[in-house]
Chain A
Amino acid sequence: KAGVTQTPRYLIKTRGQQVTLSCSPISGHRSVSWYQQTPGQGLQFLFEYFSETQRNKGNFPGRFSGRQFSNSRSEMNVSTLELGDSALYLCASSRTGAGETQYFGPGTRLLVL
């Protein structure tokens, strides 16, 4: 079974731009969670989607948004990029989400200049 994939793997943007990241979960997994990983803050929970609905959201500003499609693929969008948004963005999938093993993708490394 193919693992979680994320595209693109690397991205360079400038302040003020917006960016869209994509995550394809493991086949049969309907829950997709997004995390921001930075050296000083560890893994910070952004949001979780299940069946095209956002079920939970972490403490991030409204510039961070996401969506999920009927095939469970998910995208996250960051608008009006700031230097502090530079990070590794990881998505993780699980079958139903609730207290299950999450499988992580390789991440998208975003650099904001």
Chain B
Amino acid sequence: GENVEQHPSTLSVQEGDSAVIKCTYSDSASNYFPWYKQELGKRPQLIIDIRSNVGEKKDQRIAVTLNKTAKHFSLHITETQPEDSAVYFCAASLGNNDMRFGAGTRLTVKP
């Protein structure tokens, strides 16, 4: 099955700085890569996703890039704000209804 590794496990940035979280996956057949944000005590919420036929996708301050050759994808958050503080999970799916998640990155944005 798919194996997803996520780095770093914790990330602390100053408000206004950028944050980058990276994930690698093992199965080259994976074709769907969502990113979820989970605030303390809340359910994971999708913030952005990308499919294997696209190299980059952007939504305001959030962007995701995908390198299929290297089998890695990254989340980029620019102009970070304290409300961006949360745990972020990447995931990869083979499109066979089996979604595998990374271990999560705890992002702290210091005011």
**Interface residue ranges, A against B (CB under 8 Å):** 31, 33, 35, 41-45, 48, 50, 55-56, 58-59, 90, 97-107
Given that A41-B103, A42-B102, A107-B43 are known contacts, is A98 also in contact with B97, CB under 8 Å in the complex?
Answer: yes
Does A99 lie within 8 Å of B51, measured CB to CB? Answer: yes
Which residues of B does A touch, CB under 8 Å?
1, 31-32, 34, 36, 42-46, 49, 51, 89, 91, 93, 95-104
Which residue of A43, A56, A98, A104 has the most chain B CB atoms within 10 A of its CB atom?
Answer: A43
Name the distance in Å between A96's Cβ and chain B's nearest Cβ: 8
Interface contact A43-B101, CB-CB below 8 Å: yes
Q: Does B97 lie within 8 Å of A48, measured CB to CB?
A: yes
B100 contacts which of A45, A55, A90, A99 (Cβ < 8 Å)? A45
The reply to whether B95 and A104 form a contact with Cβ atoms under 8 Å apart is no
Q: Is the CB of A99 within 8 A of B31?
A: yes
* Cβ-Cβ contact count across A and B, 8 Å cutoff: 59
Is A45 a contact partner of B101 (Cβ separation < 8 A)?
yes
Please report the C-alpha to C-alpha distance between residue A99 and residue B98 in the assembled complex, in whole angstroms: 9
Q: Which residue on chain B has the smallest CB distance to residue A55? A: B97
Instruction: Known A-B contacts: A45-B98, A99-B31, A104-B43. Give 4 more (CB < 8 A).
Output: A48-B97, A56-B97, A59-B1, A99-B95
- Closest Cβ of chain B to A90, distance in Å, is 7
Q: Which residues of chain A are within 8 angstroms of B34 by Cβ–Cβ distance?
A: 101-102
Q: Would you give the shortest CB distance from A12 to chain B, in whole angstroms?
A: 18
B2 to chain A, nearest CB (A): 9
Residues of B within 8 A of A104 (CB): 36, 43-45
